[in-house]
Amino acid sequence: MPNNIKQQIQADLQQAKETGQLRTERIREIVKSAVSQVASEFKQGSSEVRSIVRDAVSAVIDNFQEKGGELKDEVTASIEGALEGINSQRHQNIVRTQTDIKRLQAQLDGEEEQLQQEVDVILAEIEETGKEKPASTKTAIDSAVNAIKDSDEVGLLKKRYAQLQAQLAIVRANMAARYGGRNMEVQDYLDEAKHWYDKARPQAESMAVQVEEKRSQLEDKLGEAGTSLARKERQIKQTLRELLLTAADLFKDKEPANKERETIHK
């Protein structure tokens, strides 16, 4: 098949045209299928694979050359299909790696939770010993324990960590949608982003108005992305790009600005 991939693609395109199914999504699937079959015979990144991609895209261009300068959508679909085809095996490896990462993340979260519980028990015991001390000493102990419990540094680190994880999940959703991920995989990343976003979100009453507006925009975009994905709309990639930009804009906020400045100067 390496020698006749162009003929294979053009034949499939002609068949789709005859049955009235020659839409950009179908073009992408035809090219993806043809390229993935051939690319499996060669080493990833080799010159042969690059040649296959060029031939695949060229086959689509030849088939629609009568459209002249109006074949952008068809060329885009062919390039997307070719990239998905040559990277299908690599993408499966990425999915397996991400599954391992999620398992390790869950383990890490559990260990951190256990650590926090142990710290809480220790602080409670320290508070208990303070009850037998003079009032001034008890006040000092309570103040010290409360200061540790309400550490601004810890709260800020947790918030920024959750923000980073939310952004990474959105990036992965974009990558999966762009390079051949299944809808379920993209939705998993969106759910993961929502999970971390909720962890990063402070109480509404502490938000500035402009920050609350940005957060509302992010929530709307998360919902819009999920809806578009469920309907299998072609605009999902554009929606995911907008979601990523919205998240980037939100997470560079300085909320709560005064508290962060105080933390930095302490």
- Among the listed ranges 125-129, 188-192, 198-202, which one has the minimum average pLDDT value? 198-202
263: Cβ–Cβ under 8 A, 6 or more apart, which residues?
A: 152, 153, 156
Confidence of residue 146 (pLDDT cuts 50, 70, 90): confident
Q: Is the pLDDT of residue 163 over 50?
A: yes
Q: What is the pLDDT of residue 211?
A: 60
Mean pLDDT of the chain, nearest integer: 80
Are 254 and 260 within 8 A, CB to CB?
A: yes
* pLDDT for 85: 86
HSE, CB side, 13 Å, CA atoms: give it for residue 141. 17
pLDDT of residue 31: 92
pLDDT in tens, 205-216: 445 555 667 778
Mean pLDDT along residues 77-91: 84
SS3 253: coil
Find out whether the peptide bond into 256 is cis, omega within 30 degrees of 0: yes
Let me know: does 53 contact 86? Beta carbons within 8 Å.
yes
The pLDDT confidence band at residue 91, using thresholds 50, 70 and 90, is confident
Q: What is the pLDDT of residue 83?
A: 86
Output the CA torsion 220→224→230→232 (10° steps). -170
Query: Looking at the whole model, is its pTM more than 0.75?
Result: no
Max intra-chain CA distance, the chain: 92
What pLDDT is attached to residue 261?
42
Q: What is the pLDDT of residue 44?
A: 65
pLDDT given for residue 208 in this prediction: 52
- Looking at residue 209, its pLDDT comes to 54
Apex CA 194: angle with CA 245 and CA 218, to 5°?
A: 35
Per the structure block, which two tokens stand in for 101?
């990462």
Residue 150 pLDDT class (50, 70, 90 cuts): low
pLDDT of 260: 43
Which fold does the domain 152-252 belong to in CATH?
Four Helix Bundle (Hemerythrin (Met), subunit A) (1.20.120)
**pLDDT tens across 4-57, in order?**
888 889 899 988 888 887 888 899 889 988 888 887 777 666 678 888 888 899
What is the pLDDT averaged over residues 138-153?
79
pLDDT recorded at residue 262: 44
Answer whether residue 159 shows pLDDT above 70.
yes
pLDDT at residue number 94: 82
User: What percent of the chain has pLDDT above 90?
Assistant: 3
Residue intervals of the chain classified under CATH 1.20.120.660 are 152-252
pLDDT of residue 263: 43
| 247-263 average pLDDT score | 59
